[in-house]
Amino acid sequence: MRVLVVEDDRKIASFLVKGLRQAGFAVDCARDGEAGLGLALEAPYAAAIIDVMLPGQDGLCLVGKLRERKVSFPVLFLSAKRSVEDRVRGLRAGGDDYLTKPFAFTELLARVEALLRRSPSAVQASSLAAGDLRMDLVSREVSRGGRRIELHAREFSLLEYFLRNRGRAVSKAMILENVWNYDFDPQTNVVDVLVCRLREKVDRSFDKKMIETIRGVGYVLKP
């Protein structure tokens, strides 16, 4: 899948391009609005990551022009401004998501993938699995290696989130947002504590540890 990056800061741009290529995307990069518009009209992209503040024509203007010309791939805005109004302005201009700088690359990747998945094909699975771990979403039963594991509600949500993102790193902010629906950072290590409890139940009595900590990034559930 081909993704377009429009970002004027050279370092951020190269870091985005590298990261996205590592994640398996083909990436084109433009440094300003005009070049971005040219590329977007030429090639069919699956998604675009566009900085709001660009030299010359800004990101909002660029997306406005794309939408006028019926170019409809999903757009993720990047911005240093984090107020609600800026977010709303971005979404009104035709963006599909909005991420503020500084951001964790894990989160950017998760959001881009979510944008790409946003097609109506997603069918709700009734169960999730990774390795010998099974989760039944209907009866809300969890087992590993045939052994039943009792989980509290939040532990269950966290494990469900891990399983849905198995093999992929998730940040603490992503966990807070998806498990508790909190979009700010409570300074105490509530996420660490919950992950720790989940590990007790899921990994402790097994040789193979599934939940790994990636320091500075977050956690990953490995099948």
Partner 1 sequence: MSSSLKPRWRASLSVRLILSVAALFAAGDAAVLTTAYLTLASSLRQRDRAEIRAELEDLRGAYEEGGLPGLRGDVEQAGAQAIPFFVRLSAPGGARLFERLPPSPRPFDPSSLDVASRSLKDGALLQVGQSGAEREDVLERFRWIAAAIFLPTVLLSVLFGLWLLKRVVLGPVRRLHEVVEGVLAGKSGSRVPVGRDRGEIESLGELFNRMLDRIESLIAAMKGSLDVVAHDLRTPITRLRSGAEAALSGKADLAGCREALADCVEEADRVSTMLTTLMDISEAESGAMTLRLERVSLDELAAEAAELYRYAAEGKGVRLKVGAPSGAAALCDRNRMRQVVANLLDNAVKYTPRAGEVEISAVLRAGEAAIAVLDSGSGIPQEELPRVFERLYRGRAARSQRGLGLGLSLVRAVVSAHGGTVEASSPAGGGTLLEVRLPQGSSGIMRAQRQNAL
Would you tell me which residues interact with partner 1 (CB under 8 A)? 82-85, 102, 154, 180, 182-190, 193-194, 196-197, 215-217
CB 184 to partner 1: min, Å: 5
State how far the Cα of 42 lies from the Cα of 151, in Å rounded to an integer.
Answer: 51
Residues 6 or more apart in contact with residue 69 via CB below 8 angstroms: 41
Whichever of 101 and 166 has its CB closer to partner 1, that residue is: 101
Q: Which residue's structure tokens are 């979510």?
A: 114
- Tokens at 22, concatenated: 């590592």
DSSP 8-class letter at 170: B
Residues 6 or more apart in contact with residue 99 via CB below 8 angstroms: 76, 77, 78, 79, 107, 108, 111
Are the C-beta atoms of 66 and 93 separated by less than 8 Å?
no
CB 83 to partner 1: min, Å: 7
CB 193 to partner 1: min, Å: 5
CB 190 to partner 1: min, Å: 5
DSSP for 124-158 reads PPSEEEETTEEEETTTTEEEETTEEE---HHHHHH
Sequence length of the chain is 223
State whether residue 17 is helix, strand or coil.
helix
CB 126 to partner 1: min, Å: 27
